[in-house]
């Protein structure tokens, strides 16, 4: 598991990637409580939440929120 936090002048981004079996971004896990909660919190702060396949075939979760609103 790789966890990265980056800050630019305008945004804070948290990225978590793994090399596991992956999660189907369109599958039911996308709508479970924890992931839906993260998406809601990002959107509440004018940010974004994405769940995609990582380059290694695992999963990549990225949560990005603006620093200035």
pLDDT of residue 69: 59
The domains located in the chain, with CATH, are: 2-66 (3.30.565.10)
pLDDT of residue 68: 79
pLDDT of residue 11: 96
C-beta separation of 29 from 42 below 8 A:
no
Per-residue pLDDT in tens (0 to 9) along the chain, 69 residues:
999 999 999 999 999 999 888 776 666 655 668 888 989 999 999 999 999 888 888 999 999 999 975
Residues, the chain, total? Answer: 69
> How far apart (Å, rounded) are the C-alpha atoms in residues 12 and 20?
26
DSSP 7-46: E-SSEEEEEEE--SS---TTSGGGGSHHHHHHHHHHHHTT
pLDDT of residue 61: 93
3-state SS assignment for residue 56: coil
């Amino acid at each position: 598991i790789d966890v990265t936090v980056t800050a630019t002048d305008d945004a804070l981004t948290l990225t978590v990637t793994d090399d596991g079996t992956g999660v189907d971004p369109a599958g039911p896990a996308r709508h479970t409580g924890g992931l839906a909660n993260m998406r809601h919190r990002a959107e509440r702060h004018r940010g974004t939440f994405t769940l995609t396949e990582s380059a290694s075939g695992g999963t990549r979760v990225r949560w990005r929120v603006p620093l200035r609103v």
